[in-house]
Amino acid sequence: MLAQRPPMGWNSWNTFGGAINEQVVRDTADAIVEKGLKDAGYEYVVIDDCWSLRERNEEGRIVPNPEKFPSGMKALADYVHSKGLKFGMYSCAGTRTCAGFPGSFDYEFIDAKTFAEWGVDFLKYDFCFKPRLANGPILYNRMSMALKASGREILFSACNWGSDEVEKWIRSTGAHMYRSTGDINDSFQSFKNIAMSQVDKIAYSGPGCYNDIDMLICGMHGSGNVANGGCTDIEYRTHFALWCLFQSPLMIGGDLSKMDDFNLDLLKNKELISINQDPEARPPMMVNGGDRPVFFKHLANNEYVVAFFNFTDRSDTWGGDTVEFYDLGLTVASGYGFRFRDIFTGEDTGVLTGRLSTKVDAHDCKIFRGTLVEK
């Protein structure tokens, strides 16, 4: 069974856009292994839009652009597989992809067969140029069945940007993950708005079909295809923490040949990744809202997370940031307190009975993980 945990990998779009080619894919596969990302759990290497010629061939097949992919897709898939990784590609439910290349509308079964022959393990499936009267459930269901009929196990990654209340029907189509928002860009505002737009929809996400809040921008620093000023390292950490807390698929979007050490370490942060991969996939409860949100999340094995975020531009909050345990349901009479660890500093809070207080700087976050203990 696929996607029993949020899928992890790399996608070409955020950095390379239309400039994708086989050398980039090979170098990225090498880097995923050499830089320890494979060991951290990253698995899928995904080519997004702009990989094909503008028209199908006489047999109705999509043809890889020979200038970008001179060795062909089968050879590239073999290379990615030889690294112990999985190979992903992209198509669209409409007549054209978002960048105007051939889409799979009406060619679903032919394309799924072609992808299977090439050795594709993952298909991202977009929603541009879709006939107005054809609806999402039909189109995603059709490609899902085509992939299942292809003879190869292929993870199906839907991308309709959250339209038509996608969270309510997408699991029924057999998709394994689904984009729930518009496209991310490399800015604090973008990732903050995307994450917060999904707070009350994460409950639909879980094993077998995860809410995908878009590819990561960690370490892009204002370069690449979705550039919009870039973020500070602290902001990239807040971004990654939100994606982990919400258990979104983790698809790296940066250029791995240029990834700095801070962001490489962040992408491999074991504590955050283990929250992201938690098998129970319980949605976080929002204990405090607004621009200083606080979340409480149950993990497997009786562990808990308290996550504080400061989306304001101010670091100097009067009184600091506090979560009262009675707001989580824990009363003094229970005889229990929480013992937490700050996952970034390793600091132990000791047993706390009434509240957890901390101080979160502007655009930063604090993530605590712990258990209930007898007082």
Q: Which is nearer to ligand GLA, 150 or 181 (CB)?
A: 181
The interface mask with ligand GLA, positions 14-33, x = CB under 6 A, is --------------------
Asked whether position 125 contacts ligand GLA by CB under 6 A, the answer is no
* 126 annotated active-site: yes
What is 188-213 written as a DSSP string? HHHHHHHHHHTGGGGGG-BTTBEEE-
Tokens of 15: 């950095």
Binding segment for ligand GLA (CB under 6 A), chosen from 59-67, 91-99, 275-283, 339-347, is 91-99
| Greatest extent of the chain over all pairs of C-alpha atoms, in Å | 75
Residue of 48, 121, 126, 364 marked catalytic: 126
Binding segment for ligand GLA (CB under 6 A), chosen from 30-38, 96-104, 136-144, 334-342, is 96-104
Q: Which is nearer to ligand GLA, 97 or 144 (CB)?
A: 97
Q: Which of 157, 61, 175, 159 is nearest to 118 (CA)?
A: 61
Binder of ligand GLA out of 147, 159, 251, 272 (CB under 6 A): 159
Q: Which is nearer to ligand GLA, 97 or 190 (CB)?
A: 97
Asked whether position 183 contacts ligand GLA by CB under 6 A, the answer is yes
Asked whether position 364 contacts ligand GLA by CB under 6 A, the answer is no
Cβ-contact 174, 144 below 8 angstroms: yes
* 164 annotated active-site: no
Tokens of 60: 């109705």
Asked whether position 368 contacts ligand GLA by CB under 6 A, the answer is no
Asked whether position 252 contacts ligand GLA by CB under 6 A, the answer is no
Integer Cα distance of 319 and 308 in angstroms: 14
Cβ-contact 175, 157 below 8 angstroms: yes
- Give buried/exposed letters for 299-313 (b at 16+ CB in 10 A, else e): beeebbbbbbbbbee
Q: Which is nearer to ligand GLA, 101 or 308 (CB)?
A: 101
Q: Which is nearer to ligand GLA, 97 or 187 (CB)?
A: 97
Asked whether position 99 contacts ligand GLA by CB under 6 A, the answer is yes
- The phi-psi region of residue 222 (left if phi > 0; otherwise alpha if psi is between -120 and 50; otherwise beta) is left
Integer Cα distance of 52 and 33 in angstroms: 27
User: Total number of residues binding ligand GLA (CB under 6 A)?
Assistant: 10
Asked whether position 212 contacts ligand GLA by CB under 6 A, the answer is no
| H/E segment holding residue 117 | helix 108-118
Integer Cα distance of 220 and 222 in angstroms: 6
Among positive and negative, which fits the CA dihedral 309, 229, 160, 253?
Answer: negative
State the residues that interact with ligand GLA by CB under 6 A: 13, 48-49, 97-99, 126, 159, 161, 183
Q: Looking at the annotation, which residues are catalytic?
A: 126, 183
